[in-house]
Chain A
Amino acid sequence: MGNARLLRYVLRRLLQAIPVILGVVILNFLLLQLAPGDAATVLAGEAGGAPAEYVDALRTRFGLDKPVPVQLALYVKNMLALDLGYSFRNQSGVLPLILARLSATLLLMGTTFVLSLGLGVLLGLLAAVWVRTWKDHLISVAAIVSYAMPLFWIGLMLILLFSIKLDWLPTSGMEDAAAFYEGWERVVDIARHLILPAITLSLFYMALYTRLMRATMLEQRGLDYVTTARAKGLTERQITLRHVVRNALMPVVTVAGVQVGGLLGGSVVVESVFAWPGLGQLAFQALFARDLNLLLGIFFISSCLVVIVNIVVDVIYVLLDPRIRVG
């Protein structure tokens, strides 16, 4: 595909994203309206403690003395300019607070994405190859059990086993702050802290991809092109690896792209279990402090993140599969 066409495709996807972002902003505004009482006091944090000048500043910023449509227009203008306001509790702007936490969450999400997709595809493939043997049953049962476990509970059970009983891995945080590791040692330290949260978040998705990969592999195996390949004299191994796996991968990758929003939601829970210093833990702290403005900011930024990742996945998809025409 030509670069110009790809560029046009990306631009079109970006245009399609605008209503979604606008929708999130309007949803945020409606949520504020839903809150009991004056939006300014809600935003300032219900437990009190915010000075009167700060609440007044919020009132002016949101134009709370003006009619609702004007308030909405003001709100949309502020949010689209990425002016997400100020978190009184944290004595900092909301946007810098969120940006400071973004890399930790992206590290956790990226690791989880690779781990769950890689292992899920592999296990699904093996289950399909071993279909209706005890190995297939074992994989399928493990998948369906993993699929039913609450994330926070898996996390706590892993801590109980690997940190408390066996003392192999750290219980919380992203690195050992007291050790002042540098360079390679620091990377190893962060990796050790990453293992348990990443496994916790991965299990559910790994189970999902395993089940999906197995089902699509079995479905593909019955299709005409497989019969053709067999007639051509290819071995079963060649058919599976060269043809079936490639075709079965596509639906799995599509579903994986759609799961980004879920992954972000899951990371709220996992980060609060492991005190992983990312967006999710920030959301957990905002909940406790009743810092609703920060919470709404996190919801807005994470929605933007989902939209961006979805576009990236779509573009990769188009590059990978020549059958998809863009135009």
Chain B
Amino acid sequence: MHGFWRRFIGNPRVALSLMWLIFIVAVAAAAPVLEPASPFAIVSRPFSPPFGDFLFGTDSLGRDLLAGLMYGARTSLLIAIIATLAAVAFGTLVGSIAGFYGGIVDNVLMRISEFFQTIPSFIFAIVLVAILAPSAGSIVIAIATVSWPTISRVVRGEVLTIKARDFVQAAVVAGQRDMSILVGQVLPNALSPLIVTGSLLVANAILIESALSFLGLGAPDLMSWGFQIGAGRAFLRDAWWLVTVPGIAILLTVLAINLVGEGLNDALNPRLRDL
């Protein structure tokens, strides 16, 4: 375990990424303290340029861009994490049942998850949010619905290999029930690929959430990075910062999560590192 942490934190990309993520999480958590007014509040004249009274200037209605960024971090992170947790829970359930029982159950479940991987998932997410009416809940449902198949395939693969190992066979012979073998013996050994895949899914979820908000499908009462870019795009010519700054926030956050995910993978499978 000590070797794992040294490999993980010792990787400079991971260390930098973790610092950024801790910063973003802290800002998101402290947003109501740092900026007690609503991010939708009009605080100044419209289009004040950055580095004046307001660090990142104000938007077309005179809203503080920085306040929006802080509350946007809250929205993006919360939605992405909850959606990913839901996808991981459901995908693990489906994948472990498919891998553990095999046969016709496996066949049916894998056909279904293949189906969800074939259909154009972003268009499906758009239709789903449009029909359920835009809200934080419907965005979470849409992201989770398009994300779970990835998890279910990873878990199924792991369960298939672990199931054949001696300690699982021993548990079968010892008469343990299916559920306790699955939860007690098999799944703990499938944890590391699950964590790596899950962390990459969080990054993907942030991208989906921002694209939905950009298209005007965001939760109407929540400020988000994608919404800020969508609201600023009409003023690209005169107020470049309205689009540029929230985009950099998305880019850095997604990049940091991807790098941490890769770092986890390298640290957990040191032999594969050179690939």
A binding-site residues for B, Cβ under 8 Å: 19-20, 23-24, 27, 31-32, 34-36, 42, 144-145, 147-153, 156-157, 159-160, 164, 215, 218-219, 258, 261-262, 264-266, 268-269, 272-273, 283-284, 287-288, 290, 292, 295-296, 298-299, 302-303, 306-307, 310
Contact B118 A144 (CB under 8 A): no
- Chain A residues near B258 (CB, 8 Å)? 144, 147-148
- Chain B residues near A268 (CB, 8 Å)? 122-123, 126, 215
The residue of chain A having its C-beta at the shortest distance from the C-beta of B248 within the complex is: A153
Contact B275 A215 (CB under 8 A): yes
- Chain B residues near A148 (CB, 8 Å)? 203, 251, 254-255, 258
Contact B236 A31 (CB under 8 A): no
User: How far apart are the CA atoms of A266 and B243 in the complex, in Å?
Assistant: 19
User: How far apart are the CA atoms of A284 and B236 in the complex, in Å?
Assistant: 20
Known: A23-B115, A287-B215. A156 touches B243 (CB 8 A): yes
Closest 3 interchain pairs by CB?
A265-B122, A153-B247, A148-B255
The residue of chain B having its C-beta at the shortest distance from the C-beta of A263 within the complex is: B120
Known: A148-B254, A153-B251, A157-B244. A265 touches B128 (CB 8 A): no
User: How far apart are the CA atoms of A258 and B120 in the complex, in Å?
Assistant: 10
Closest CB in chain B relative to A306 CB, distance in Å: 6
Q: Is B139 an interface residue (CB 8 A)?
A: no
Contact B207 A299 (CB under 8 A): no
User: How far apart are the CA atoms of A298 and B207 in the complex, in Å?
Assistant: 22
Closest CB in chain A relative to B47 CB, distance in Å: 16
User: How far apart are the CA atoms of A298 and B211 in the complex, in Å?
Assistant: 18
- Chain A residues near B126 (CB, 8 Å)? 268, 283, 287, 295
Contact B211 A150 (CB under 8 A): yes
Stretch at the interface among B1-9, B129-137, B175-183: B129-137
User: How far apart are the CA atoms of A6 and B251 in the complex, in Å?
Assistant: 46
- Chain B residues near A160 (CB, 8 Å)? 236, 240, 243-244
Q: Is B226 an interface residue (CB 8 A)?
A: yes
Q: Is B26 an interface residue (CB 8 A)?
A: no
- Chain B residues near A34 (CB, 8 Å)? 131-132
User: How far apart are the CA atoms of A310 and B119 in the complex, in Å?
Assistant: 11
- Chain B residues near A147 (CB, 8 Å)? 258
Contact B123 A269 (CB under 8 A): no
Contact B237 A164 (CB under 8 A): yes
Of A20, A24, A150, the contact of B210 (CB 8 Å cutoff): A150
- Chain B residues near A157 (CB, 8 Å)? 243-244, 247
Closest CB in chain B relative to A236 CB, distance in Å: 18
Contact B275 A261 (CB under 8 A): no
Contact A292 B247 (CB under 8 A): no
- Chain A residues near B247 (CB, 8 Å)? 149-150, 153, 156-157
Closest CB in chain B relative to A140 CB, distance in Å: 11
Of B203, B215, B237, B259, the contact of A284 (CB 8 Å cutoff): B215
Q: Is B250 an interface residue (CB 8 A)?
A: yes
Q: Is B217 an interface residue (CB 8 A)?
A: yes
Q: Is B216 an interface residue (CB 8 A)?
A: yes
Closest CB in chain B relative to A294 CB, distance in Å: 11
User: How far apart are the CA atoms of A57 and B125 in the complex, in Å?
Assistant: 29
Contact B121 A292 (CB under 8 A): no
User: How far apart are the CA atoms of A35 and B236 in the complex, in Å?
Assistant: 36
- Chain B residues near A152 (CB, 8 Å)? 210-211, 214, 226, 229-230
- Chain A residues near B121 (CB, 8 Å)? 261-262, 265
Interface centre among B111, B128, B236 (most CB of A within 10 A): B236
Q: Is B90 an interface residue (CB 8 A)?
A: no
Of A19, A31, A218, A302, the contact of B128 (CB 8 Å cutoff): A31
